[in-house]
Amino acid sequence: MRSVGPVLAVIAVIVALWYAAAVGMNAAWVRDQAARAGTEVSFLQIVPQTMAQERPVLPAPHQVAKGLWDGVTGQAITSKRSLVYHGWITLSATLLGFGIGTGLGILLAVGIIHNRAMDQSVMPWAIASQTIPILAIAPMIIVVMNSIGVSGLLPKAVISAYLSFFPVVVGMVTGLRSPDAMQLDLLRTYNAGRGQTFWKLRLPASMPYLFASLKVGIAASLVGAIVGELPTGAVAGLGARLLQGSYYGQTIQIWAALFAAAFVAAALVGIVGAVQAAVLKRMGMAR
């Protein structure tokens, strides 16, 4: 908690800059309105008006905060206008995708370290898969899966998994290979088999690497779920909220959804971090 001071200072600076930007960017509209009405406006009159528009170019922080607050607490959580409702839709796809991606990533990593052919064949494909822009892949996945009758949660989860398996593969391959030659030799002197080497040495040694990857992976999963909601004209989810906001110029709604997504991401990464701390502590690896 010693870092609270600096963090608050940074936030204060960002908020101040944001207000300044809001005034600057929204002022044009105020001046236009005044010109149309044939009136003159002074700077001091402009400032409050830049922060109270319904569709500002850049909403002021307090407008976003209010939008967020209304979205979270102002509605029944089953309402289509509730951010909790949309957040949950996105979160469920995120978690399912994260689960699939993590499982797949670990399986691939285990295969890669135990099988030479997989080592040489899987990694290049995994890397190639990540060089294709997700925005190009997402609509194809959704369309293809829709055509075979799968829609809703699963296609989004697949996109989520597509983004989150990669950090897990990379982290786990590194982690499972982290034991040095001496530690492997020691097990050979016990005549340990591959399975024993895996369970007793490689897997526990990989835990710090796994958790580092999971933190990246869960954030990527959330991005994947949101992106998965964009191309389909989905009606629910934070991605849908973003898209609708941009159709109707509801900038406050866009920003509120963005912040909701950011808070969800922070919470998810925080939860993974807490699990990491607990697991490593139980393993005696936290000092």
Partner 1 sequence: MMTDGSASDRPVIDAQKVGLTFQTADGPVHALKDVNLRVLKGDFVSFIGPSGCGKTTFLRAVAALEHPTEGRLLVNGMTPEEARKRRAYGYVFQAAGLYPWRTIAGNIRLPLEIMGFSRPEQDRRVKDVLQLVELEGFGKKYPWQLSGGMQQRASIARALAFDADILLMDEPFGALDEIVRDRLNEALLKLWARTGKTIGFVTHSIPEAVYLSTRIVVMSPRPGRITDVIESPLPRERPLDIRDSAEFIAIAHRVRDGLRAGHSYDD
Residues in contact with partner 1 by CB under 8 A are: 182-183, 185-192, 196, 200-201, 204-205, 207, 283-285, 287
Tell me how far, at minimum, the Cβ of 203 lies from partner 1, in Å: 10
Residue 152, phi then psi, degrees to nearest 5 = 85, -125
* CB closer to partner 1 out of 6 and 284: 284
Cβ neighbourhood burial of 101 (10 Å; 0-12, 13-18, 19+): buried
Tell me how far, at minimum, the Cβ of 206 lies from partner 1, in Å: 11
* CB closer to partner 1 out of 144 and 184: 184
Tell me how far, at minimum, the Cβ of 187 lies from partner 1, in Å: 7
Contact 168, 101 (CB under 8 A): yes
DSSP string, 137-190: HHHHHHHHHHHTT--THHHHHHHHHHHHHHHHHHHHHHHHT-S-HHHHHHHHHT
* CB closer to partner 1 out of 36 and 287: 287
Tell me how far, at minimum, the Cβ of 65 lies from partner 1, in Å: 44
Tell me how far, at minimum, the Cβ of 70 lies from partner 1, in Å: 48
* CB closer to partner 1 out of 123 and 192: 192
Tell me how far, at minimum, the Cβ of 285 lies from partner 1, in Å: 5
* CB closer to partner 1 out of 162 and 211: 211
* CB closer to partner 1 out of 40 and 185: 185
Angle at 166 between CA 163 and CA 172, to 5 degrees: 145
DSSP string, 21-83: HHHHHHHHHHHHHHHHHT----HHHHHHHHTS-SS-SS--HHHHHHHHHHHHHSS-TTSTT-H
